Structure 1
Amino acid sequence: MKRLRCGTAPEPGCLQAWAAECEALAGRWRAARGSAYGGAAAAARQLRGAFGELLLQMRGLPPALPMMPLELTVLYNSLLFVMGTSDCAIKGEAEGIRQGLLRVLEACGTSGQDLSTQELWQKVLQEVTVEELQAPLHRLGALQAAWWLATSCLQNIIDLFRLLSSAEDPERAPCRAEKNELLTLLKAWRTPAEEASVSLVQSTEDLKETLCTAAAFLQGLQELEAGNLSTTLCLLQEAAGGFCSKRVLAQIYVCLGCCAQRMGKPQTALQHLKQALQVDFQCHPALSHTAAVYHELGETDAELQALYLLYEVCLLWKKNPPSATSSSPYFLIRAELLVNTPILASLLRHHHPSEVKYLLAQRCLRDGRVADAVEHYLDFLSLLQEGLQQQVPLDGGSPLPRIPEVFLEAASALEQDGRHQDSLTVCDEVISRTTNLIPKIIQVEEKLEQPECASLETGLAGGLLSQKRESLCCLTWRAAAYLHQGWVWSKLGKGKEAIMQFSRCLNDLLRFQPRGCGVEPAESLLPEVKVLQKIRLLSLIGRGMQFLEQEKHKEALLDFQHGLQISPDDPAAASYLVQVLWKLNRKEEAADYWQKYLESPAGEDGQQERQGRHFPLYLDSCLKQATFPQNESLARCIQDYLRTTRQDSSR
């Protein structure tokens, strides 16, 4: 390789002064980085400016080969501080690298202004053969790789390190087909030897280790998102054995746990999540995933215990957010700066205490722990009543449903806990909050997909469709509130009040006028329409039961018939219809319905339960109350009637 020529160098005194200043600044960093995090961070911000000013001084002169090794070293140190004091990669870093390469070419008597960054690197590494520039260029290449890694440009890194490996030793250039070429290239990369006196604020060996860890982590996340779980496992295990802070190591273990869970290995997932907490007890996403695994296993006690602990940790974290601690000594380029993807943000999403409180309430209600559910729902609602609803996250990643649904779930829990008046009050709150949001008539396509609506998801038409569906949601919530009040009054033995609320529910539902033609298959209906249909059915059954108790058999018959028209497969509607027909002495019709719907009653409860799983949690208590009680005497009477009828017909 060529060696530097001195004819174009600046004054020797300038070079010596700049080299001394670079060494002094690097020495300040070495002294500061072993101090507490706050001290190191403050020093990093100061030195970022100092190295930036030194670089400006050097670039005030035309580029010359004798000064380029020092200039590239100062550039390297400067960009390390720029990246290390930023939350993520920024555009200025890439531009700083580009300007450095252009000055190298200019010092060599050529240009590359019109080239892309990738083409510029190719030109520099192939044409610049000055020996003293090889190590500085390799270091700058590692920084370029860090920036590309932070922006997920992995192919660019592969192309760059092929060039670096070729420039270092053409015979050692890895094969393109080699498995995971990126990691292979990074591990094989060696920086050319240079003088021991070079003042670096972070060694290239440390930077290399960080790049390897971040590359394995990032690729593991990409494979996880693509569903390639076995590859994900290998890459994340590679990352876990790499060079990173405890915080990042805990994150890697969380991702390993999620991967194992998706592979159908819940016990392995729990082991990884436990490792995450052992490494960093502040990694509370590990607790939320642990609760999810226990939920999948059906271990409710363990799930609730994890949620209780998560709630306490979230409260502590909210009061005293943890500092962004890193490994010691403090490193400027860290894996957490280079791996920022939507899937990682989703997996490591921090929960607000209110979200965890809701999860506790929901899980307790689903598991029949009604008293505990009531306590958690009331705690959650108190946050809203105190005017703190802005602290409750409602983004797409939140486990919280819409707030009216939480109110309805709370009403359901209160009802099941025997706190009937409180349940009525909560329902009144839903009714009053939604009354002014519902138009007199809501016309919307009831099918999930309509050919003429294919383009309605964008522009003004899409907004109109969204507005109509929002009105439909408000109608659903208010109708459900009336439905709950009807069942509460039924429990209290107030038949008149119950019938009134069931009727209000049914009258409200008349506001919805579907524009679909004919009877649509259930799977093609909008979710809101399915819920509305179920609310209508439950209201008809509830009102019919009250009519039946008051011996208003004809009114009850109409409600049960209408209910069976809405949901022909519903065993409760069929059972009540059979009962009222039998009471009206319409035995032949009763027997026909019994044979059609109820002659094989095994599994009816299971069918009701399966149906309930497809509907909001706040309807569970209504679904349970609408279940027809086993009436063995009626079944025997119908069976005797059928036997007698068959005997008469055979004579």
Structure 2
Amino acid sequence: GLPAALPCLPLELTILYNSLLFTMGAPDSDIKGEAEGIRMGLLRVLEAFGACGQDLSTEELWQKVLQEVTVEELQAPLHRLGALQAAWWLADSRLGSTTSLFRLLTNTEDQERGRSSDGENELLYLLKAWRVPAEGVSLPLVQSAEDLKQILCTATVFLQGLQELEAGNFPTAISLLQEAAGGFCSKRVLAQIYTCLGCCAQRMGKPQIALQHLKRALQVDFQCLPALSHAATVYHELGEANAELQALALLYEALGKTPPAAASSSPYFLIRMELLVHTPILASLLRHRQPSEVKYLLAQRCLQYGRVADAAEHYLDFLALLQEGLRQQVPLDGGSALPRIPEVFLEAASALEQVGRHKDAITLCEEVISRTTGLIPQMLQVEERLDQLECPSPGAGLAGRLLSQKDSLRCLA
């Protein structure tokens, strides 16, 4: 392309900023790795000043540009690009790289205050202290740097809270997540934050506080079904059978409905919290249960609580779900509450037997036998573990020797 020229750089960087916003905010965008568009923009800036930085890493490139380029006209465009770079790094949970960047974007006095504050919150302090340059009027911005700053602050404290939750530092996690709940985000994300607060309180052994947070999540967004699932778990820990069964029934009903289109009362932004916070622990806490899992939990809980008639009906409904398609109904991610299918059949047979439906119970047991007979070996091999055979004490007698040998036998399939 054309050589980089200083008079055109502000407009060029603003166009780059707007185009990257559309790229990052696209539904199918994948914010990972390095932002090549931002890197090319920084290299263009260095080119205009007769410098180069092809061999530098992105962090080193930012350091070189922000320390060497002091032209006033380029400060606002560079700061906007810096905010986009921070969003890119936060989406990859690179909090350290983001902190280093904002040390360069803030003035010396703010840097010293940030370092003297709590080390864990240095990034949050620098973000809040970052003075967004005045927007020029040459070209409209798709999303202002001020709006982006608020989203970055909320995303940062949310990510920090999740990290503390994963590390088991629950009081710190509660504090950070509560600050995130007061930040700039959609109702959907706010419900997710309250769900995380509920899970954190649950792990701290405070079930009543956990229920308050989970109920708040459902009040904000009733489509946040993981909150309802976690509430059922808390009720189970408290021994509140009626509340637990009601929560599971509502969850199963909600899973069978098509969720309405998400309506947000906040303005639409291309760079949103949903794009920046998607860590493994968040995905684990917000995992949606399959209808088959919830139906099985209903059946199992009813059987445990002695409500055998309800349990039998739920087990039969569950078996009907399996008939509709095992692969679609049973999650295979390892986090499912479902046991192996033969165990489910036997639990269902037990419930049917207790309500007097003996023939149906026998049919299920015969089904288990027919399906598992081929898995049982025709001969069991018994071997003696010689390395564990030790002579018992003389006073132990024959009974002692027999017991010692019995404990050292191992059945091998």
Answer yes or no: same fold by TM over 0.5.
yes
Is 1:423 aligned to 2:361, yes or no? yes
Per the alignment, residue 583 of structure 1 pairs with: none
Shift of the 250–387 alpha-carbon distance from structure 1 to 2, 3 Å rule, reads closer
Which structure exhibits the higher relative contact order, with contacts defined as CA atoms closer than 8 Å and separated by 6 or more residues?
A: 2
Shift of the 305–403 alpha-carbon distance from structure 1 to 2, 3 Å rule, reads same
The secondary structure found in structure 1 opposite 2:205 is: coil
Per the alignment, residue 117 of structure 2 pairs with: 178
Q: 1:153 deviation in Å?
A: 0.6
Per the alignment, residue 121 of structure 1 pairs with: 62
Distance 1:100 1:380 in 2: 57
The secondary structure found in structure 1 opposite 2:115 is: coil
Q: 1:142 deviation in Å?
A: 0.6
Distance 1:352 1:512 in 2: 40
Q: 1:415 deviation in Å?
A: 2.2
Q: What is the one-letter code of the residue matched to 2:370?
A: S
Q: 1:205 aligns with which of 131, 146, 150?
A: 146
| Maintained 8 Å contact 2:91/2:275 | yes
Q: 1:512 deviation in Å?
A: 5.9
Per the alignment, residue 204 of structure 2 pairs with: 263
Distance 2:319 2:357 in 1: 16
Per the alignment, residue 399 of structure 2 pairs with: none
Q: How far does the alpha carbon of each residue in 1:77-111 deviate from its partner, in whole angstroms, 9 at most, with x for none?
A: 11111111145643476111111111111111100
Shift of the 159–516 alpha-carbon distance from structure 1 to 2, 3 Å rule, reads farther
Q: TM-score, normalised by structure 1?
A: 0.58
Q: What is the one-letter code of the residue matched to 2:174?
A: L
Is 1:281 aligned to 2:222, yes or no? yes
Q: 1:433 deviation in Å?
A: 1.4
Per the alignment, residue 297 of structure 1 pairs with: 238
Shift of the 158–327 alpha-carbon distance from structure 1 to 2, 3 Å rule, reads farther
| Maintained 8 Å contact 1:370/1:413 | yes
Per the alignment, residue 71 of structure 2 pairs with: 130
Shift of the 91–268 alpha-carbon distance from structure 1 to 2, 3 Å rule, reads closer
Shift of the 91–292 alpha-carbon distance from structure 1 to 2, 3 Å rule, reads closer
Q: What is the one-letter code of the residue matched to 1:255?
A: C
Q: 1:248 aligns with which of 152, 164, 189?
A: 189
TM alignment of 1:159-558, pairs within 5 A: 159-165=100-106, 169-173=107-111, 174-179=113-118, 180-316=121-257, 320-323=258-261, 325-441=263-379, 511=380, 513=382, 516=385
Distance 1:392 1:227 in 2: 31
Distance 2:88 2:265 in 1: 21
| Maintained 8 Å contact 1:244/1:327 | no
Q: What is the one-letter code of the residue matched to 2:137?
A: A
Distance 1:422 1:518 in 2: 49
| Maintained 8 Å contact 1:223/1:229 | yes
Instruction: Pick the structure with greater CA Rg.
Output: 1
Distance 2:185 2:94 in 1: 21
Distance 2:349 2:304 in 1: 14
Q: 1:212 deviation in Å?
A: 0.6
| Maintained 8 Å contact 1:161/1:189 | yes
Distance 1:440 1:88 in 2: 56
Distance 1:512 1:230 in 2: 54
Q: How far does the alpha carbon of each residue in 1:608-641 deviate from its partner, in whole angstroms, 9 at most, with x for none?
A: xxxxxxxxxxxxxxxxxxxxxxxxxxxxxxxxxx
Distance 1:212 1:92 in 2: 21
CA RMSD across the alignment: 2.2
Higher deviation after alignment, 128-137 or 378-387: 378-387
| Maintained 8 Å contact 2:198/2:209 | yes
Is 1:101 aligned to 2:42, yes or no? yes
Distance 2:273 2:196 in 1: 15
Q: What is the one-letter code of the residue matched to 2:208?
A: Q
Q: 1:440 deviation in Å?
A: 3.5
Distance 1:288 1:518 in 2: 49
Structure 1 gaps of 5+ residues are 1-59, 442-510, 521-561, 568-651
The secondary structure found in structure 1 opposite 2:35 is: helix
Q: 1:193 deviation in Å?
A: 2.5
> How many pairs does the alignment contain?
391
Shift of the 222–90 alpha-carbon distance from structure 1 to 2, 3 Å rule, reads same
| Maintained 8 Å contact 1:82/1:93 | no
Shift of the 515–374 alpha-carbon distance from structure 1 to 2, 3 Å rule, reads farther
